[in-house]
Structure 1
Amino acid sequence: MNQRQRKKLFRRLFNAIPAGDTTAVEVALRAGADPDQADGEGTTPLYVASVQGQTEIARLLLAAGASPDIESSGIGAEGTPLCAAACWGHTETVRELLAYGADPNAREDHGTGWSPLEWANRGRHPATVAVLTAVGAVTGGRAT
């Protein structure tokens, strides 16, 4: 696949996520779109799906090999997918990310920022807090 084709697939994938178009996401992934490729600002597809609570799309990206703990660095879209989902109380997306191995204690900002549990607590999302706590998430650092 040449660079032009990769860019076209990436645009299709990235545009389908906010629209919730699971079919377009599936088609792009089957055609070879990289589920971990970030846009020009550093935002990953999984981060976009997670922050918007697009659980089915997150599942498709994860099943296609997206890494659950890669931090996005886009303007206004920085952080991990799990922190993004926890911040907004997208409990089902949090469950999906955890099922694919997301670290419940990984802090944003390369380990110096907030954890998923801190985001969920600050956003007052008790269902999300319960899911994170059940898998060993702690406030103030990593579980020992």
Structure 2
Amino acid sequence: MTAAARPAVTTGRVTELLQSGADPQRGDREGTTPLYVASVNGEAEIARVLMAAGAVPDTESGGLGSEGTPLCAAACRGHTETVRALPAYGADPNLREDHGTGRSPLDWALGAPHPETAGPLTTAEAASSRGRDA
């Protein structure tokens, strides 16, 4: 199903599904995770709801092809608000995709036509480095 043909998913609907017992980590038939879908589509609020419910932000999506991490997906697509949200819930800005390209979120930001996502990533990397050095 193409993105245009998919029904719109609202934050409220995601919250309802989670309250009904939906697993925020469970992928679809192809293995694509809900957090990856939210991230690649720039749905920062839905991403926050999923992570608050237990979705692990560094889990690589296992869908068709090489989907990679939610943070790499958001950086590649220029979704700055989502790029800011993911590290706030523990996404590692230095993590390279193992099943995807081997690129980091910053690699994606600088190599894509959305360099504005690099700023939040370098800020998150600095914070991540300080946390490791403490």
Q: TM-score, normalised by structure 1?
A: 0.78
- Give, in whole Å, the separation in 2 of the partners of 1:33 and 1:86: 27
Query: How do residues 1-144 of structure 1 correspond to structure 2 at under 5 angstroms?
Result: 19-76=8-65, 78-110=67-99, 113-136=102-125
Q: Which has the higher contact order (CA 8 A, sep 6+)?
A: 2
The DSSP-based 3-state class of the residue aligned with 1:72 is coil
Q: What amino acid is aligned across from residue 72 of structure 1 in structure 2?
A: S
Q: 1:122 to 1:45 in 2, by over 3 A?
A: same
- Give, in whole Å, the separation in 2 of the partners of 1:24 and 1:30: 10
Q: 1:62 to 1:24 in 2, by over 3 A?
A: same
The DSSP-based 3-state class of the residue aligned with 1:26 is helix
Q: Which runs of 5+ in 1 are unaligned?
A: 1-16, 138-142
Q: 1:45 to 1:132 in 2, by over 3 A?
A: same
Q: What amino acid is aligned across from residue 48 of structure 2 in structure 1?
A: R
Contact 1:20 1:54 in 2 (8 A): no
Contact 2:68 2:100 in 1 (8 A): no
Deviations, residues 20-45 of structure 1 (Å, cap 9, x unaligned): 41111110011110000011211100
The DSSP-based 3-state class of the residue aligned with 1:60 is helix
Larger fraction in strand: 1
Aligned to 1:10: none
Deviating 4+ runs (over 6 angstroms): none
Aligned to 1:7: none
Contact 1:47 1:77 in 2 (8 A): no
Q: Which runs of 5+ in 2 are unaligned?
A: 1-5, 127-131
The DSSP-based 3-state class of the residue aligned with 1:109 is coil
Contact 1:18 1:49 in 2 (8 A): no
Aligned length: 123
- Give, in whole Å, the separation in 2 of the partners of 1:136 and 1:97: 12
